[in-house]
């Protein structure tokens, strides 16, 4: 009989045993896909200027496979941005929620680890009891009531022979790591959101400054046209056209002021403050930082080893795999060592006297003989969570690669567009100055001056908007590659 039981346990152990956890391997490309297919060049015509007279094409960003080592906001030489991000990393409510979640998972792991150690409890009671005649046949009358005192200690210790408890502890440890990476992921998102909002604020402030400066110039132009009309050298058409350009410029200001108020409120909330509690550093306009021409972004294989959401998903998968092993261990007997030591007496004073002690020591075995169906369903449930976690981990990797490739291309193109817009502004400024000089010399009509001013305003607006777009694209790269890189 003992041989049969031993053989049965060996078979069950082999059936419920789980292999050691292996982190899933992900096949990724050796480098990011950042190239952009150039469009076909337009056909040349006799009216086209020679190539030597054209501006040089906008430069592209140079990406290297070096591993990033520094938080990006510290490398842009913007003290206001650095202070905002580092304050948000501690004061933001989402960060605090993630930190509380991490504290809870650490407590859960410590709680699970207590199952590896014996459990000792103390108890005591005082009960007044009376036996009835029915309880003691043969008595002619009821016995008097008596007091029963009992004190003692109970101890139990489950022998983790089949790894149920240890797997649960290891699973809780994996969940702690997952929560740590979850906190890091939230910090990356908060830092990116803060930088994006900051750049949008500075961009709106810059656009508002451009609009105000252009409005001042246009008011001077309106005055000039009125003076020329009064002197008989201008027309009412010139004056009305100048007023129209001025009004269109002034109409953009309320929209930009609304964007500035929105961005300021968003920054305050990211700092864990009320929308009206804006940092003093943001009350005055500021310039956008100079953007880098070269970024160290690592490789796709490095990305999946450092991006916090990928690491969080992998640790969650590891925990679910271990929980499957713990659930399968319920197919096997649970063996515990137990002991009960105490004293029972009819009076408090007689406790601990000879004859009042009690002692019970021995192993306890439990086996779900008629409950295997419930155990199987728990195993199936745990396995379904593993399948879900594995798919989620794979999806997270694919999403990370997609976001990174798109972010790199976006920044490369936004950076190139920014260079073109800078050239456009310089040319528009030159053209506007020439048009004004020709008008004052009587060599051209006022329509050319207005057209040149309108072109300059549009170019300056697009430059401010393009600078903001490039800066926010840089933030998207930061977020996509996991939060840090050195900038040259």
- CA-wise closest residue to 307 among 433, 479, 174, 153: 479
Tell whether the model's pLDDT for residue 133 goes beyond 60: no
Beta-carbon contacts of residue 455 (< 8 Å; ≥ 6 apart):
428, 431, 432
Across 8-17, 97-106, 150-159, 444-453, which has the greatest mean pLDDT? Answer: 97-106
What's the pLDDT score for residue 313?
93
What's the pLDDT score for residue 135?
54
Tell whether the model's pLDDT for residue 47 goes beyond 50: no
The CB density around residue 78, as the number of other CB atoms within 10 Å, is 21
Across 13-27, 188-202, 363-377, which has the greatest mean pLDDT? Answer: 188-202
Give percent of the chain above pLDDT 70: 84
Whole-number Å distance between alpha carbons of 352 and 115: 31
Cβ pair 118, 155 in contact under 8 A: yes
Tell whether the model's pLDDT for residue 60 goes beyond 90: no
What's the pLDDT score for residue 445?
77
Tell whether the model's pLDDT for residue 88 goes beyond 70: yes
- Which CATH code is given to the segment(s) 58-125+147-480? 1.20.1600.10
Q: What does the pLDDT look like over 454-485, one tens digit per residue? A: 888 889 889 999 999 999 999 999 888 887 65
What's the pLDDT score for residue 40?
41
What's the pLDDT score for residue 136?
52
Instruction: Give the tokens for residue 391.
Output: 């798919």
Cβ pair 330, 378 in contact under 8 A: yes
What's the pLDDT score for residue 11?
46
Q: What does the pLDDT look like over 279-294, one tens digit per residue? A: 877 878 888 888 888 8
Higher-confidence residue: 59 or 268? 268
Whole-number Å distance between alpha carbons of 237 and 232: 13
Tell whether the model's pLDDT for residue 253 goes beyond 90: yes
Please compute the mean of the pLDDT values over residues 216-239 and round it to a whole number: 84
What's the pLDDT score for residue 312?
93
Cβ pair 224, 235 in contact under 8 A: no
Mean pLDDT of the chain: 82
Cβ pair 454, 433 in contact under 8 A: no
Domain residue ranges of the chain, discontinuous segments joined by +: 58-125+147-480
What's the pLDDT score for residue 45?
44
């Amino acid at each position: 009989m003992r041989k049969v039981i031993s053989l049965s346990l060996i078979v069950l152990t082999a059936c419920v045993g789980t292999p050691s956890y292996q982190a899933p391997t992900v096949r990724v490309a050796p480098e990011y896909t950042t190239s952009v297919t150039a469009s076909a060049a337009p056909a040349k015509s006799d009216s086209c200027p020679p190539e030597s007279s054209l501006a040089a094409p906008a430069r592209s960003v140079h990406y290297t496979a070096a591993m990033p080592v520094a938080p990006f906001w510290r490398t842009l030489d913007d003290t206001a941005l650095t202070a905002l991000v580092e304050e948000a990393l501690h004061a933001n409510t989402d960060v605090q929620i993630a930190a509380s979640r991490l504290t809870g998972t650490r407590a859960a792991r410590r709680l699970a680890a207590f199952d590896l150690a014996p459990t000792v409890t103390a108890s005591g009671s005082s009960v007044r009891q009376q036996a009835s005649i029915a309880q003691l046949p043969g008595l002619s009358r009821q016995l008097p009531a008596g007091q029963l005192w009992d004190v003692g200690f109970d101890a139990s210790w489950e022998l983790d022979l089949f790894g149920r408890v240890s797997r649960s502890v290891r699973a809780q440890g994996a969940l702690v790591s997952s929560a740590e990476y979850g906190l890091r992921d939230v910090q990356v998102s908060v830092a990116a959101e803060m930088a994006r909002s900051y750049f949008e604020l500075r961009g709106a402030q810059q656009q508002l400054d451009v609009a105000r400066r252009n409005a001042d110039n246009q008011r001077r132009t309106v005055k000039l046209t009125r003076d020329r009309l009064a002197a008989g050298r201008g027309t009412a058409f010139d004056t009305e056209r100048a007023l129209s350009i001025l009004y269109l410029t002034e109409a953009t200001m309320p929209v930009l002021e609304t964007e500035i108020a929105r961005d300021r409120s968003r920054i305050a909330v990211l700092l864990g403050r009320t929308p009206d509690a804006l940092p003093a550093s943001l009350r005055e306009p500021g310039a956008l930082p100079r953007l880098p021409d070269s970024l160290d972004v690592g490789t796709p294989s490095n990305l999946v080893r450092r991006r916090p959401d990928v690491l969080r998903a992998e640790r969650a998968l590891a925990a679910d795999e271990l929980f499957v092993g713990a659930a399968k261990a319920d197919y096997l007997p649970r063996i515990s060592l137990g002991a009960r030591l105490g004293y029972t007496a009819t009076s408090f004073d007689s406790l601990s006297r000879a004859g009042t002690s009690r002692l019970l020591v021995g192993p306890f075995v439990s086996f779900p003989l008629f409950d295997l169906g419930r155990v199987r369903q728990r195993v199936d449930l745990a396995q379904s969570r593993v399948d879900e976690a594995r798919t989620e981990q794979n999806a997270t990797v694919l999403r990370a690669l997609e976001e990174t490739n798109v972010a790199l291309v976006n920044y490369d193109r936004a950076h190139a567009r920014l260079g073109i817009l800078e050239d456009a502004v310089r040319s528009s400024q030159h053209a506007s100055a020439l048009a004004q000089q020709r008008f004052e010399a009587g060599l051209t009509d006022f329509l050319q001056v207005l057209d040149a001013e309108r072109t300059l305003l549009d170019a300056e607006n697009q430059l401010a908007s393009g600078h903001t777009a490039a800066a926010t694209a840089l933030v998207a790269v930061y977020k996509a590659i996991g939060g840090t890189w050195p900038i040259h």
